[in-house]
């Protein structure tokens, strides 16, 4: 499970567990989408232009008509060449809603997507016959914001469900089979869940290994194999997630945010944040707010 730079923007309402964002980026900018993440899944549809779309450490070149599916909690951003404007739409939707529809939090779809594996990222290519129907559905929501929501809500929900089914059939079913063959996963998942809930306090390796039922060395080995990170590197990623959302939506001082997110040393916080986000916390706050409050409509 890869946890990253959580974006504290509510992408759903109490009644509607999705949101649609339309963005135009002019030729002068080279950054099309700032580095962030959120607890919802996302379909990103590039209507015009070319971007280098990065999910975690993987970079994908997207061209007009292409799309990408991003599982929850994975860092993503996009850059483009100067002088080349782009326009895109993003459909962001809650897995909590999907779990309610499809049999609870541990149903096949939600449990696999919630692993936050980069293997669940899926690129949909314009011109590829096997992607045509999915892209046709994604192209619909580019014009939805021009209509009252009651004119398209049920259709959009159906399109989300169909596209998630296609994602599962293409990539997630294979991943789910791999997960089931790993007998140690349940114990490691307990450690992951514990870190997610207790990121703001001091956590020891002995706590985690006892919780999982494994020795400390075996816990560390299996944790890295299943998540890609050592336990405390993973913990720092969770803490940076929480800090990044607070930086954008609150006026709290950076020192308070760091302390509230489990860092007892501001210098260490600054270093870890820069390593993960590619910029200091103060710069991230400025850039994140600029993107958050910039226009999200077609010009």
Percent of the chain with pLDDT over 90: 37
Q: Which CATH number is 18-181's, of 3.90.420.10, 2.40.430.10, 3.30.70.100, 2.60.120.280? A: 2.60.120.280
- Using one digit for the tens of pLDDT, what is the confidence trace for 78-126? 999 999 999 999 998 887 776 666 555 555 666 666 655 677 889 999 9
The pLDDT of residue 184 is above 70: no
- Using one digit for the tens of pLDDT, what is the confidence trace for 271-292? 999 988 888 999 988 887 776 5
Instruction: Indicate the pairing of strand 86-93 with strand 41-48.
Output: antiparallel
- Using one digit for the tens of pLDDT, what is the confidence trace for 228-269? 789 999 899 889 988 988 898 889 999 999 999 999 999 999
| Domain boundaries for CATH 2.60.120.280 within the chain | 18-181
- The confidence band for 173, taking pLDDT boundaries of 50, 70 and 90, is low
Instruction: Name the CATH superfamily for 185-287.
Output: Homeodomain-like (1.10.10.60)
Instruction: Indicate the pairing of strand 76-79 with strand 50-55.
Output: antiparallel
Percent of the chain with pLDDT over 70: 81
Question: For the chain, what is the total number of helices (H) and then of strands (E)?
Answer: 12, 9
Helix H or strand E encompassing 185: helix 185-197
Amino acid 253: pLDDT: 96
- The confidence band for 9, taking pLDDT boundaries of 50, 70 and 90, is very low
- Using one digit for the tens of pLDDT, what is the confidence trace for 132-164? 999 999 988 777 777 888 888 888 888 888 888
- The confidence band for 13, taking pLDDT boundaries of 50, 70 and 90, is very low
Report d(CA 142, CA 22) in Å as an integer.
7
Report d(CA 127, CA 116) in Å as an integer.
28
| Domain boundaries for CATH 1.10.10.60 within the chain | 185-287
Amino acid 123: pLDDT: 94
* SS3 state at 5: coil
Which position has the token pair 């002019």?
26
Strand ranges (DSSP E) for 157-224? none
What's the whole-number average pLDDT of the chain? Answer: 82
Amino acid 261: pLDDT: 94
- The confidence band for 209, taking pLDDT boundaries of 50, 70 and 90, is very high
Amino acid 102: pLDDT: 57
Report d(CA 24, CA 28) in Å as an integer.
12
Number of residues in the chain: 299
CA distances from 71 to 16, 113, 274 (A): 19, 6, 23
């Amino acid at each position: 499970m890869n946890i990253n730079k959580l974006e504290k923007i509510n992408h759903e309402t109490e009644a509607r567990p999705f949101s649609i964002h339309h963005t135009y980026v002019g030729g002068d900018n080279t950054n099309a989408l700032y580095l962030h993440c959120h607890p919802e899944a996302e379909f990103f549809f590039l209507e015009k232009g070319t971007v280098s779309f990065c999910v975690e450490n993987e970079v994908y070149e997207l061209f007009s008509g292409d799309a990408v599916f991003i599982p929850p909690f994975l860092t993503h951003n996009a850059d483009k060449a100067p002088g080349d404007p782009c326009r895109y739409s993003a459909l962001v939707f809650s897995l909590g809603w999907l779990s309610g529809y499809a049999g609870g939090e541990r149903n096949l779809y939600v449990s696999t997507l919630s692993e936050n594996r980069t293997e669940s990222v899926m690129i949909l290519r314009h011109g590829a016959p096997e992607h045509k129907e999915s892209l046709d559905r994604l192209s619909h929501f580019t014009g939805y914001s021009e209509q009252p929501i009651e004119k398209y809500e049920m259709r959009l929900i159906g399109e989300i469900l169909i596209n998630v089914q296609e994602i599962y059939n293409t990539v997630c079913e294979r991943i789910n089979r791999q997960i089931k063959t790993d007998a140690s996963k349940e114990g490691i998942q307990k450690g992951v869940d514990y870190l997610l809930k207790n990121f703001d306090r001091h956590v020891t390796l002995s706590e985690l290994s006892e919780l999982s039922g494994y020795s400390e060395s075996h816990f560390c080995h299996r944790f890295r194999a299943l998540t890609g990170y050592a336990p405390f590197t993973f913990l720092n990623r969770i803490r940076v997630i929480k800090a990044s959302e607070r930086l954008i939506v609150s006026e709290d001082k950076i020192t308070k945010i760091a302390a509230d997110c489990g860092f007892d040393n501001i210098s260490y916080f600054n270093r870890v944040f820069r390593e993960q986000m590619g910029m200091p916390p103060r710069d991230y706050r400025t850039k994140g707010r600029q993107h958050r409050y910039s226009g999200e409509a077609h010009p």
